[in-house]
Amino acid sequence: MSLDLALGIARSGLLAVQRGLAQASQNIANAETPGYTRKTVAQQAVTVQDRPAGLRTAEAQREVEAALVARLDASRAAAAAASVREALLTGVEQAHGTAEGGSLADALAALRSGFLALRDAPADAGQQRAVLEEAREAAGRLNAVSGAIGSARQQAQDGIVQEVAGANAALREIAGLTLRIKSGADGGTAALEDQRDQAIARLAESLEVRAVRQPGGDLLLVARGGVVLPLAPDRDVLATAAATMAPGSFHGGAGTLPGITLNGIDITGQLTGGRLGEYLTLRDRTLPRFQAEADIAAAALANRFDRQGLRLFTDADGTVPDNTLPYAGSAQMGLAGRLRLNPALEADPAPLRDGTHAVAAAAGGPTAFTPNPAGGPAGFTTLIDRVLGFTFGDSAAAGAPWPAMQTGGLGPDASLTSPFAAGATLEAQAGRMLAAQTGDRAAATTARQQAEGLRTTLEARFGQASGVDVDAEMAGMVALQNAYAANARVLGTLQSMWDSLLAAVR
């Protein structure tokens, strides 16, 4: 081996050590930088005509496991979705009165107790007013639940608009970084890949995606529903619009709610996961089902009183919607938010004893009823007995069960179904609705806790695999320092040899 070749080899060793030391210093300096991953400088031996010629260093490479990153992004999407669901359903749960005050079932039990007390003193105006207050509480509880559902649904719609904007921003950033990585115009691409992974992580919280990394730095983003998201740095690829919620609003078919489009094609039904997917589920399925269940309970409440001869609850226009009609498209939609006490009873509560109207006997329905006439017996209890025996019971008359409350064909488009069987009584239905709707919130809380636990575990694993261990980096720097000293000694030795050679030929 010539002295020139030996000198070149030693020099390449010194340069490699310098790059390694520089990269180790960079790792240590960014140990606490969010999104930064440990990078190493690969070395490759160089030979020329089967003779050693030193080594060359490659571009800095990230220490990242792609499968672990994909699992971590999926866990972020799950945690973000569960957090959104928990937050919106918590407001509905609070309106049900489980945190403070009584639930609808409690209000109905109190109303029944009020009628029991009124039966002992049917002419007592004070007791009549007490029953009205209990009835007002029951209507108010339904109003509050309906209002909370409507508010949560509007929040979901507004959240969809916000998440689409955020997803577009992330997609533009990812597209721009991908172009820079592919071109290699910025020199090393490892730092750009870190930035791109961070943008993908933000996108995953909005919309769960799978990033398929391809040769040359290219990238394919596939949403959980199978939609391939194009990367365009200069335009938005997703679009939607703002909307105001109403109980009858829905997306699809003849609906009025905007969907989400990709290059003009509606892909709403294909988007799942992340906050955006959860907002869509809440807006189009969960909350419309909640609304329908509350409306069905309100319609049954008004009808079961009305069919016994007491129009205690009415719609805003003073009518009692027919609860035997299919829910979708009927006056039952939104009734829980409009239900009120009959204004006539506010002015004169005496019909709580006497009845508000006559009832004709119907096959399979209530028996005939004639109101107590003016000047009739002060101790008239016929109506109160009908209310206690049948309105609050499971039958319209002896041997004539009430028609089952609707649990299918719910929602503005009749596509939804309750997860519980209909209750035979008003209180049973209210209790089952309460259990189902608050149970959904509890399930969301459990899902959030599990998703956050998994995310924390995966983040710890990612930190161990791809994060910077300062102690390890310092130990590596010591090894590099030793290598540098060794290469320097080689150079010193070669210099002495050159000096001796030159001295010999002088």
Q: Is the pLDDT of residue 91 over 80?
A: yes
Question: Strands 219-223, 209-213: parallel, antiparallel or unpaired by DSSP?
Answer: antiparallel
CA angle 463, 86, 292 (to 5 degrees): 150
* Contact in structure between 430 and 108 (CB atoms under 8 Å): yes
Tens of pLDDT, residue by residue over 143-190, are 999 999 999 999 999 999 999 999 999 999 999 999 988 887 555 688
d(CA 203, CA 277): 12
Q: What is the pLDDT of residue 107?
A: 95
Cα separation, 418 vs 432, whole angstroms: 10
Segment 97-105 shows an average pLDDT of: 72
Q: How much is the average pLDDT of 181-204? A: 83
User: For a pLDDT cut of 70, what percent of the chain falls above it?
Assistant: 85
In the three-class reduction of DSSP (H, G, I as helix; E, B as strand; rest coil), residue 317 is classed as coil
Q: What's the CA gap between 175 and 127, in Å, rounded? A: 71
Q: Tell me: the pLDDT tens digits for 245-270?
A: 999 999 988 889 999 999 889 999 99
CB burial of 484-501 (b: ≥16 within 10 Å; e: otherwise) equals beebeebbeebeeeeeee
Asked if the model's pLDDT at residue 53 lies above 60, the reply is no
Residues constituting the chain:
506
Mean residue pLDDT across the chain: 88
Q: Residue 239: pLDDT above 50?
A: yes
Give per-residue pLDDT as tens, 494-506: 667 766 767 777 6
> Averaged over 218-228, what is the pLDDT?
88
Q: CB burial class (10 A; 0-12, 13-18, 19+) of residue 4?
A: exposed
**Cα–Cα distance, 466 to 66 (Å, whole number):** 11
**Residues 371-380: pLDDT tens digits?**
999 889 999 9
- Which of 97-101, 113-117, 215-219 holds the top average pLDDT? 113-117
Q: Which amino acid is at 246?
A: A
Q: Quick one: pLDDT at residue 503?
A: 73
Mean of the pLDDT values across residues 292-296? 98
pLDDT at 99 over 60: no
The pTM of this model reads: 0.87
Query: 25 or 456, which is more confident?
Result: 456
Q: What integer pLDDT is reported at residue 493 of this predicted model?
A: 72
Query: Where is average pLDDT lowest: 309-318, 438-447, 486-495?
Result: 486-495
Question: Which carries the bigger pLDDT value, residue 327 or residue 182?
Answer: 327
Q: Is the pLDDT of residue 100 over 60?
A: no
Task: With residue 295 as reference, give the H or E element that holds it.
Answer: helix 287-306
Q: What is the mean pLDDT of residues 403-409?
A: 95
Please state the φ and ψ torsions of residue 374, each to the nearest 5 degrees.
-55, 130
How confident is residue 408, by pLDDT bands cut at 50, 70 and 90? very high
Q: What is the pLDDT of residues 349-390, one digit of tens each?
A: 999 999 999 999 989 899 999 999 988 999 999 999 999 999
The distance from CA 267 to its chain's CA centroid, rounded to whole angstroms, is 18
Say which residues have a Cβ less than 8 Å from residue 504's Cβ, sequence separation at least 6.
Answer: none
Indicate if the pLDDT at residue 466 is higher than 90.
no
Q: Does the pLDDT value for residue 90 go beyond 90? A: yes
Whether the CB-CB separation of 178 and 219 falls below 8 Å is answered with: yes
- 269 in Cβ contact with 283 (< 8 Å): no
Q: Give just the sign of the alpha carbon dihedral 429, 432, 438, 440.
A: negative
Give dist(CA 46, CA 64) in Å, integer: 27
Exposure string (b/e) for 219-252, b if CB count within 10 Å is 16 or more? bebebbeebebebeeeeebbebeebebbbbbbbe
The reported pLDDT for the residue numbered 47 is: 66
Would you say residue 125 has pLDDT above 50? yes
Over residues 467-492, the mean pLDDT reads 68
Q: State the pLDDT confidence band at 123, using cuts at 50, 70 and 90.
A: very high
Integer CA distances (angstroms), 230 to 205, 234, 240, 259, 367, in order: 18, 12, 17, 18, 67
pLDDT of residue 191: 85
Span 74-103, average pLDDT = 88
